[in-house]
Amino acid sequence: MPHLLHIDSSIQGDRSISRALSARAADAWRAAHPGGTVTYRDLGSDPQPHLTAATLPARRLPPEQHTPAQAASWALTMELVNEVKEADTVLLGLPLYNYAAPSSVKSWIDHLLAPGLSIDTETHTGLLGGREFIVLASRGGGYNEGTPRAGWDHAQAWLPHGVANMGLEPRFITAQLTLAEVNPSMAELIPLAKESRAAAEREIDALWSPVTAEV
């Protein structure tokens, strides 16, 4: 039975464009996979704790040597890794905050990077490959080549490297200029913002659409 892991990370609630895009993608996945199951995790409202000097050693010590704090951290890591392993498709809603990914997403990935669980300790190859990893990204501004802030989107630049050792390969679907309708100084960009979101929605709608053979 196909299984979806749907993750949001925005702290903007109903105002969030990344949440709207990830919800649309989850609906499209359900429509294409009748009977499929879904696990939902909200990193925005329930962020995972960052690794600390007290909990990081859990990744290199045998379980019998774990302190209570390390045991709890390792248990959470196993839970998060297993959620990915059980999924055929992973959807991640990824807003851009201060030109980078939300810290909750960084913490999620830090927990996933676990020798023996997501990375083979002998071959150092990733153990989470072979599944779809679709990232529904939103950017308040414009960061394409030729714009004043081209290259300032460090979330999309970082994420493929952050998950590469685990074998995950993200596909990005991005809506940008999302602040145009609420920021008066960006009002002239509203048509481009609407066009960007519509293009993202079309790409989402085509993700699992059946291919019609030409005759």
Q: What is the pLDDT of residue 209?
A: 85
In a domain, 211, yes or no: no
In a domain, 213, yes or no: no
Total domain count, the chain: 1
- DSSP string for 5-74: EEEE--SSGGG-HHHHHHHHHHHHHHHHSTT-EEEEEETTTSPPPPP-TTTGGGGTS-GGG--HHHHHHH
* pLDDT higher than threshold 60 for residue 211: no
Q: What is the pLDDT of residue 30?
A: 98
9 and 46 in contact (C-beta within 8 Å)?
no
* pLDDT higher than threshold 90 for residue 135: yes
In a domain, 70, yes or no: yes
Give pLDDT tens digits for 33-86: 999 999 999 999 999 999 999 999 999 999 999 999 999 999 999 999 999 999
Q: Give me the CATH number covering residue 50.
A: 3.40.50.360
In a domain, 46, yes or no: yes
In a domain, 91, yes or no: yes
In a domain, 64, yes or no: yes
In a domain, 210, yes or no: no
* pLDDT higher than threshold 70 for residue 148: yes
* pLDDT higher than threshold 60 for residue 155: yes
Q: What is the pLDDT of residue 212?
A: 42
In a domain, 125, yes or no: yes
The domain of 161 spans 3-205
Per the prediction, the chain carries an average pLDDT of 95
